[in-house]
Structure 1
Protein backbone atom coordinates (compact mmCIF):
# COMPACT_ATOMS: atom_id res chain seq x y z
CA UNK A 1 0.00 0.00 0.00
CA UNK A 2 1.31 3.48 -0.87
CA UNK A 3 1.97 5.52 2.23
CA UNK A 4 0.31 8.93 2.30
CA UNK A 5 2.72 11.77 3.03
CA UNK A 6 1.58 14.78 5.01
CA UNK A 7 1.92 18.23 3.47
CA UNK A 8 1.21 21.75 4.66
CA UNK A 9 -2.62 22.15 4.91
CA UNK A 10 -2.47 25.59 3.28
CA UNK A 11 -0.52 24.19 0.32
CA UNK A 12 -2.98 21.32 0.04
CA UNK A 13 -5.93 23.74 0.06
CA UNK A 14 -4.23 25.94 -2.55
CA UNK A 15 -3.67 22.97 -4.85
CA UNK A 16 -7.24 21.70 -4.41
CA UNK A 17 -9.12 25.00 -4.70
CA UNK A 18 -6.64 27.13 -6.65
CA UNK A 19 -7.72 25.93 -10.12
CA UNK A 20 -11.39 26.63 -9.34
CA UNK A 21 -10.62 30.12 -8.03
CA UNK A 22 -8.50 30.80 -11.13
CA UNK A 23 -11.40 29.67 -13.35
CA UNK A 24 -13.68 32.10 -11.47
CA UNK A 25 -11.23 35.02 -11.80
CA UNK A 26 -10.62 34.46 -15.53
CA UNK A 27 -14.35 34.11 -16.21
CA UNK A 28 -15.24 37.28 -14.27
CA UNK A 29 -12.63 39.27 -16.21
CA UNK A 30 -13.71 37.94 -19.62
CA UNK A 31 -17.41 37.15 -19.20
CA UNK A 32 -18.56 40.02 -21.42
CA UNK A 33 -15.80 39.60 -24.00
CA UNK A 34 -14.86 37.29 -26.84
CA UNK A 35 -11.30 36.16 -27.46
CA UNK A 36 -10.00 35.16 -30.90
CA UNK A 37 -7.73 32.11 -30.86
CA UNK A 38 -6.54 30.63 -34.13
CA UNK A 39 -9.17 32.53 -36.07
CA UNK A 40 -12.05 31.29 -33.89
CA UNK A 41 -13.88 33.49 -31.39
CA UNK A 42 -14.42 32.05 -27.90
CA UNK A 43 -16.51 33.38 -25.03
CA UNK A 44 -14.96 34.23 -21.67
CA UNK A 45 -16.45 31.02 -20.28
CA UNK A 46 -14.65 28.85 -22.84
CA UNK A 47 -11.36 30.69 -22.27
CA UNK A 48 -11.72 30.19 -18.51
CA UNK A 49 -12.33 26.49 -19.15
CA UNK A 50 -9.28 26.34 -21.41
CA UNK A 51 -7.17 27.80 -18.59
CA UNK A 52 -8.77 25.60 -15.92
CA UNK A 53 -8.04 22.21 -17.52
CA UNK A 54 -4.20 22.29 -17.62
CA UNK A 55 -4.02 24.04 -14.23
CA UNK A 56 -6.18 21.30 -12.67
CA UNK A 57 -3.99 18.63 -14.29
CA UNK A 58 -0.84 20.25 -12.89
CA UNK A 59 -2.29 20.77 -9.40
CA UNK A 60 -3.56 17.17 -9.26
CA UNK A 61 -0.16 15.85 -10.35
CA UNK A 62 1.49 18.05 -7.71
CA UNK A 63 -0.85 16.67 -5.03
CA UNK A 64 -0.05 13.13 -6.10
CA UNK A 65 3.68 13.87 -6.11
CA UNK A 66 3.58 15.52 -2.67
CA UNK A 67 1.21 13.13 -0.89
CA UNK A 68 1.83 9.88 -2.78
CA UNK A 69 -1.92 9.32 -3.13
CA UNK A 70 -5.05 10.62 -4.85
CA UNK A 71 -8.62 10.09 -3.68
CA UNK A 72 -11.02 8.35 -6.11
CA UNK A 73 -13.07 11.57 -6.17
CA UNK A 74 -10.03 13.56 -7.33
CA UNK A 75 -9.25 11.08 -10.10
CA UNK A 76 -12.87 10.94 -11.31
CA UNK A 77 -13.13 14.74 -11.25
CA UNK A 78 -9.91 15.13 -13.25
CA UNK A 79 -11.03 12.63 -15.90
CA UNK A 80 -14.46 14.27 -16.31
CA UNK A 81 -12.94 17.76 -16.43
CA UNK A 82 -10.55 16.69 -19.18
CA UNK A 83 -13.31 14.95 -21.17
CA UNK A 84 -16.16 17.45 -20.79
CA UNK A 85 -14.00 20.56 -20.51
CA UNK A 86 -12.16 19.38 -23.60
CA UNK A 87 -15.43 18.88 -25.46
CA UNK A 88 -16.58 22.38 -24.50
CA UNK A 89 -13.36 23.91 -25.83
CA UNK A 90 -13.18 21.68 -28.93
CA UNK A 91 -16.81 22.29 -29.92
CA UNK A 92 -16.89 25.86 -28.54
CA UNK A 93 -19.96 24.88 -26.52
CA UNK A 94 -20.09 25.59 -22.74
CA UNK A 95 -22.92 23.13 -22.11
CA UNK A 96 -20.60 20.13 -21.82
CA UNK A 97 -18.57 21.70 -19.02
CA UNK A 98 -21.73 22.81 -17.21
CA UNK A 99 -23.03 19.22 -17.25
CA UNK A 100 -19.82 17.91 -15.67
CA UNK A 101 -20.85 18.45 -12.00
CA UNK A 102 -24.13 16.64 -12.67
CA UNK A 103 -22.28 13.60 -13.99
CA UNK A 104 -19.77 13.66 -11.13
CA UNK A 105 -22.50 13.72 -8.49
CA UNK A 106 -24.52 11.03 -10.24
CA UNK A 107 -21.38 8.89 -10.49
CA UNK A 108 -20.67 9.23 -6.77
CA UNK A 109 -24.30 8.65 -5.79
CA UNK A 110 -24.40 5.53 -7.98
CA UNK A 111 -21.11 4.16 -6.63
CA UNK A 112 -22.15 4.71 -3.02
CA UNK A 113 -25.60 3.24 -3.67
CA UNK A 114 -24.06 0.12 -5.21
CA UNK A 115 -21.69 -0.24 -2.24
CA UNK A 116 -24.67 -0.16 0.12
CA UNK A 117 -26.54 -2.73 -1.95
CA UNK A 118 -23.48 -5.01 -1.92
CA UNK A 119 -22.98 -4.41 1.82
CA UNK A 120 -19.42 -3.30 1.12
CA UNK A 121 -19.11 0.30 2.24
CA UNK A 122 -16.50 1.76 -0.12
CA UNK A 123 -16.70 5.16 1.60
CA UNK A 124 -15.61 3.52 4.85
CA UNK A 125 -12.70 1.81 3.09
CA UNK A 126 -11.50 5.14 1.70
CA UNK A 127 -12.08 7.41 4.71
CA UNK A 128 -12.01 5.22 7.82
CA UNK A 129 -8.44 6.21 8.70
CA UNK A 130 -9.34 9.91 8.74
CA UNK A 131 -12.76 9.43 10.36
CA UNK A 132 -12.96 6.32 12.61
CA UNK A 133 -16.63 5.31 12.98
CA UNK A 134 -18.67 2.19 13.50
CA UNK A 135 -20.09 0.34 10.50
CA UNK A 136 -23.56 1.65 11.34
CA UNK A 137 -22.26 5.22 11.33
CA UNK A 138 -20.72 4.72 7.90
CA UNK A 139 -23.94 3.20 6.60
CA UNK A 140 -25.97 6.22 7.73
CA UNK A 141 -23.41 8.70 6.40
CA UNK A 142 -23.31 6.90 3.04
CA UNK A 143 -27.11 6.98 2.74
CA UNK A 144 -27.12 10.70 3.48
CA UNK A 145 -24.34 11.34 0.96
CA UNK A 146 -26.28 9.49 -1.75
CA UNK A 147 -29.20 11.83 -1.10
CA UNK A 148 -26.90 14.86 -1.05
CA UNK A 149 -25.21 13.96 -4.35
CA UNK A 150 -28.54 13.34 -6.06
CA UNK A 151 -29.79 16.71 -4.78
CA UNK A 152 -26.65 18.49 -6.00
CA UNK A 153 -26.94 16.85 -9.42
CA UNK A 154 -30.51 18.10 -9.70
CA UNK A 155 -29.56 21.57 -8.45
CA UNK A 156 -26.77 21.85 -11.01
CA UNK A 157 -29.14 20.95 -13.82
CA UNK A 158 -31.68 23.54 -12.68
CA UNK A 159 -29.07 26.31 -12.32
CA UNK A 160 -27.21 25.86 -15.61
CA UNK A 161 -30.37 25.33 -17.64
CA UNK A 162 -32.43 28.18 -16.19
CA UNK A 163 -29.96 30.84 -14.99
CA UNK A 164 -27.18 32.99 -16.43
CA UNK A 165 -23.60 31.83 -16.89
CA UNK A 166 -22.49 34.16 -14.09
CA UNK A 167 -25.05 32.62 -11.73
CA UNK A 168 -23.81 29.12 -12.60
CA UNK A 169 -20.13 30.07 -12.11
CA UNK A 170 -20.97 31.57 -8.69
CA UNK A 171 -22.97 28.45 -7.81
CA UNK A 172 -20.11 26.17 -8.92
CA UNK A 173 -17.34 28.18 -7.25
CA UNK A 174 -19.00 29.06 -3.95
CA UNK A 175 -22.39 27.34 -3.66
CA UNK A 176 -21.38 23.70 -4.13
CA UNK A 177 -18.37 23.81 -1.75
CA UNK A 178 -20.48 25.65 0.84
CA UNK A 179 -23.19 22.97 0.68
CA UNK A 180 -20.57 20.26 1.29
CA UNK A 181 -19.16 22.12 4.30
CA UNK A 182 -22.64 22.65 5.77
CA UNK A 183 -23.47 18.97 5.19
CA UNK A 184 -20.51 17.75 7.22
CA UNK A 185 -21.13 20.34 9.97
CA UNK A 186 -24.73 19.15 10.25
CA UNK A 187 -23.49 15.57 10.55
CA UNK A 188 -21.14 16.34 13.47
CA UNK A 189 -23.52 14.61 15.91
CA UNK A 190 -23.43 11.47 13.76
CA UNK A 191 -19.63 11.45 13.90
CA UNK A 192 -19.69 11.85 17.69
CA UNK A 193 -22.40 9.24 18.24
CA UNK A 194 -20.70 6.55 16.15
CA UNK A 195 -17.05 7.41 16.81
CA UNK A 196 -14.88 4.44 17.73
CA UNK A 197 -13.19 4.41 21.13
CA UNK A 198 -9.62 5.69 20.93
CA UNK A 199 -8.14 2.28 21.75
CA UNK A 200 -9.77 0.88 18.58
Structure 2
Protein backbone atom coordinates (compact mmCIF):
# COMPACT_ATOMS: atom_id res chain seq x y z
CA UNK A 1 0.00 0.00 0.00
CA UNK A 2 2.83 2.38 0.89
CA UNK A 3 4.50 1.65 -2.45
CA UNK A 4 1.30 2.45 -4.34
CA UNK A 5 0.79 5.71 -2.41
CA UNK A 6 4.38 6.80 -3.06
CA UNK A 7 3.97 6.12 -6.77
CA UNK A 8 0.73 8.12 -6.87
CA UNK A 9 2.33 11.10 -5.13
CA UNK A 10 5.26 10.98 -7.53
CA UNK A 11 2.84 11.04 -10.47
CA UNK A 12 1.03 14.10 -9.07
CA UNK A 13 4.32 15.93 -8.55
CA UNK A 14 5.42 15.25 -12.12
CA UNK A 15 2.02 16.37 -13.49
CA UNK A 16 2.06 19.59 -11.45
CA UNK A 17 5.60 20.33 -12.59
CA UNK A 18 4.49 20.06 -16.21
CA UNK A 19 1.55 22.47 -15.84
CA UNK A 20 3.51 25.76 -15.83
CA UNK A 21 5.16 24.80 -19.12
CA UNK A 22 1.77 24.14 -20.71
CA UNK A 23 0.38 27.45 -19.47
CA UNK A 24 3.44 29.34 -20.68
CA UNK A 25 3.08 27.83 -24.13
CA UNK A 26 -0.42 29.33 -24.38
CA UNK A 27 0.50 32.77 -23.09
CA UNK A 28 1.29 34.08 -26.58
CA UNK A 29 -2.28 33.42 -27.77
CA UNK A 30 -4.75 36.06 -26.51
CA UNK A 31 -7.84 34.96 -24.65
CA UNK A 32 -10.92 36.67 -23.35
CA UNK A 33 -14.23 37.67 -24.87
CA UNK A 34 -15.17 37.22 -28.51
CA UNK A 35 -14.40 40.28 -30.65
CA UNK A 36 -16.76 40.28 -33.64
CA UNK A 37 -16.54 42.76 -36.52
CA UNK A 38 -19.35 42.87 -39.10
CA UNK A 39 -19.04 44.71 -42.40
CA UNK A 40 -21.05 45.42 -45.53
CA UNK A 41 -19.34 44.30 -48.73
CA UNK A 42 -19.74 46.88 -51.49
CA UNK A 43 -18.96 46.80 -55.19
CA UNK A 44 -15.44 48.05 -55.89
CA UNK A 45 -16.01 48.87 -59.56
CA UNK A 46 -18.08 51.67 -61.04
CA UNK A 47 -21.68 50.92 -62.01
CA UNK A 48 -20.54 51.52 -65.60
CA UNK A 49 -18.62 48.22 -65.49
CA UNK A 50 -20.98 45.44 -66.69
CA UNK A 51 -21.81 42.62 -64.27
CA UNK A 52 -19.79 44.26 -61.49
CA UNK A 53 -22.46 45.32 -59.00
CA UNK A 54 -22.33 42.52 -56.47
CA UNK A 55 -23.27 42.89 -52.80
CA UNK A 56 -22.72 41.10 -49.52
CA UNK A 57 -21.67 41.09 -45.90
CA UNK A 58 -18.79 39.70 -43.87
CA UNK A 59 -17.99 38.98 -40.25
CA UNK A 60 -14.46 38.62 -38.88
CA UNK A 61 -14.52 37.16 -35.39
CA UNK A 62 -11.61 36.76 -32.96
CA UNK A 63 -12.50 33.80 -30.74
CA UNK A 64 -11.42 33.44 -27.08
CA UNK A 65 -9.18 30.49 -27.98
CA UNK A 66 -7.11 32.67 -30.31
CA UNK A 67 -8.69 31.34 -33.49
CA UNK A 68 -10.11 33.56 -36.22
CA UNK A 69 -13.49 32.87 -37.86
CA UNK A 70 -14.46 34.51 -41.15
CA UNK A 71 -17.98 34.44 -42.61
CA UNK A 72 -18.88 35.81 -46.05
CA UNK A 73 -22.34 36.01 -47.64
CA UNK A 74 -22.42 37.53 -51.12
CA UNK A 75 -24.60 37.75 -54.22
CA UNK A 76 -24.49 39.18 -57.71
CA UNK A 77 -21.17 37.52 -58.53
CA UNK A 78 -20.29 35.62 -61.69
CA UNK A 79 -22.21 32.33 -61.30
CA UNK A 80 -20.76 28.85 -61.37
CA UNK A 81 -17.12 29.88 -60.93
CA UNK A 82 -14.63 30.04 -58.09
CA UNK A 83 -13.91 33.47 -56.66
CA UNK A 84 -10.64 34.34 -55.01
CA UNK A 85 -11.26 35.86 -51.58
CA UNK A 86 -8.80 37.18 -49.04
CA UNK A 87 -8.23 39.13 -45.89
CA UNK A 88 -6.17 42.11 -47.01
CA UNK A 89 -4.39 44.54 -44.73
CA UNK A 90 -1.21 45.40 -42.90
CA UNK A 91 0.02 43.42 -39.89
CA UNK A 92 1.25 46.54 -38.10
CA UNK A 93 -1.53 49.06 -38.75
CA UNK A 94 -5.09 49.61 -39.94
CA UNK A 95 -5.30 49.84 -43.72
CA UNK A 96 -6.84 52.65 -45.75
CA UNK A 97 -10.19 51.00 -46.38
CA UNK A 98 -11.71 50.12 -49.74
CA UNK A 99 -10.62 51.87 -52.95
CA UNK A 100 -12.70 54.58 -54.59
CA UNK A 101 -12.86 55.78 -58.22
CA UNK A 102 -9.68 57.83 -57.80
CA UNK A 103 -7.69 54.60 -57.59
CA UNK A 104 -8.19 54.03 -61.33
CA UNK A 105 -4.82 55.61 -62.04
CA UNK A 106 -4.51 53.88 -65.43
CA UNK A 107 -7.70 55.53 -66.71
CA UNK A 108 -9.11 52.29 -68.13
CA UNK A 109 -12.33 52.53 -66.10
CA UNK A 110 -11.37 49.61 -63.85
CA UNK A 111 -9.73 49.32 -60.44
CA UNK A 112 -7.19 46.53 -60.71
CA UNK A 113 -5.99 44.42 -57.80
CA UNK A 114 -2.73 46.38 -57.72
CA UNK A 115 -4.52 49.75 -57.76
CA UNK A 116 -6.84 48.64 -54.95
CA UNK A 117 -3.97 47.30 -52.85
CA UNK A 118 -2.80 50.87 -52.24
CA UNK A 119 -5.78 51.12 -49.88
CA UNK A 120 -6.49 47.62 -48.62
CA UNK A 121 -2.92 46.29 -48.53
CA UNK A 122 -1.45 42.90 -49.41
CA UNK A 123 -3.03 39.49 -48.89
CA UNK A 124 -2.79 38.33 -45.27
CA UNK A 125 -4.99 35.22 -45.41
CA UNK A 126 -6.42 33.29 -48.36
CA UNK A 127 -10.09 32.53 -47.68
CA UNK A 128 -10.00 28.99 -49.00
CA UNK A 129 -12.64 26.41 -48.16
CA UNK A 130 -9.97 23.77 -47.49
CA UNK A 131 -6.23 23.35 -47.66
CA UNK A 132 -3.58 26.04 -47.14
CA UNK A 133 -4.44 29.62 -46.23
CA UNK A 134 -1.07 30.97 -47.34
CA UNK A 135 0.36 30.89 -50.87
CA UNK A 136 0.60 28.74 -52.84
CA UNK A 137 -3.05 27.69 -52.77
CA UNK A 138 -5.24 25.77 -55.21
CA UNK A 139 -7.66 27.99 -57.14
CA UNK A 140 -10.52 25.50 -56.79
CA UNK A 141 -10.22 25.76 -53.00
CA UNK A 142 -11.69 29.28 -53.16
CA UNK A 143 -15.48 29.68 -52.69
CA UNK A 144 -17.63 28.52 -55.60
CA UNK A 145 -20.55 30.75 -56.58
CA UNK A 146 -23.80 28.91 -57.20
CA UNK A 147 -26.00 29.25 -60.28
CA UNK A 148 -27.42 32.51 -58.91
CA UNK A 149 -23.98 34.04 -58.31
CA UNK A 150 -24.11 33.66 -54.52
CA UNK A 151 -21.49 32.38 -52.11
CA UNK A 152 -21.91 31.39 -48.48
CA UNK A 153 -18.57 30.89 -46.78
CA UNK A 154 -17.32 30.26 -43.27
CA UNK A 155 -14.02 28.96 -42.01
CA UNK A 156 -12.24 29.01 -38.66
CA UNK A 157 -8.49 29.54 -38.88
CA UNK A 158 -5.86 28.21 -36.44
CA UNK A 159 -4.81 30.21 -33.42
CA UNK A 160 -1.93 32.60 -34.01
CA UNK A 161 -1.15 35.97 -32.49
CA UNK A 162 -1.34 37.67 -35.91
CA UNK A 163 -4.69 36.07 -36.75
CA UNK A 164 -6.22 37.22 -33.48
CA UNK A 165 -4.87 40.77 -33.68
CA UNK A 166 -5.88 41.34 -37.30
CA UNK A 167 -9.62 40.79 -36.71
CA UNK A 168 -10.49 44.47 -36.38
CA UNK A 169 -8.15 45.93 -38.97
CA UNK A 170 -8.55 44.06 -42.25
CA UNK A 171 -10.57 44.26 -45.45
CA UNK A 172 -12.47 41.29 -46.83
CA UNK A 173 -12.01 41.33 -50.61
CA UNK A 174 -13.77 39.03 -53.10
CA UNK A 175 -12.36 38.94 -56.62
CA UNK A 176 -13.60 37.96 -60.07
CA UNK A 177 -15.90 39.62 -62.62
CA UNK A 178 -17.16 38.31 -65.97
CA UNK A 179 -16.14 41.46 -67.82
CA UNK A 180 -16.75 40.22 -71.37
CA UNK A 181 -20.05 38.47 -70.63
CA UNK A 182 -19.00 35.06 -71.92
CA UNK A 183 -20.40 33.29 -68.86
CA UNK A 184 -17.08 32.57 -67.19
CA UNK A 185 -14.21 34.30 -65.43
CA UNK A 186 -11.09 33.97 -67.53
CA UNK A 187 -7.50 33.90 -66.35
CA UNK A 188 -5.79 37.20 -65.69
CA UNK A 189 -7.74 40.40 -65.10
CA UNK A 190 -11.19 38.78 -64.85
CA UNK A 191 -9.94 36.48 -62.08
CA UNK A 192 -7.96 39.00 -60.05
CA UNK A 193 -10.07 42.16 -60.36
CA UNK A 194 -11.65 43.08 -57.00
CA UNK A 195 -15.44 42.75 -57.05
CA UNK A 196 -16.37 43.33 -53.39
CA UNK A 197 -14.66 44.97 -50.45
CA UNK A 198 -15.52 45.76 -46.85
CA UNK A 199 -13.88 45.96 -43.46
CA UNK A 200 -12.11 48.22 -41.00
CA UNK A 201 -12.45 51.04 -40.42
CA UNK A 202 -16.22 50.59 -40.32
Per the shorter chain, which TM-score range? under 0.3
| TM-score normalised per structure 2 | 0.23
Higher relative contact order, chain-length normalized (CA < 8 Å, sep 6+): 2
Structure possessing the higher radius of gyration over alpha carbons: 2
Of Structure 1 and Structure 2, which has the larger fraction of its residues in strand? 2
| Structure showing the higher helix proportion among its residues | 1
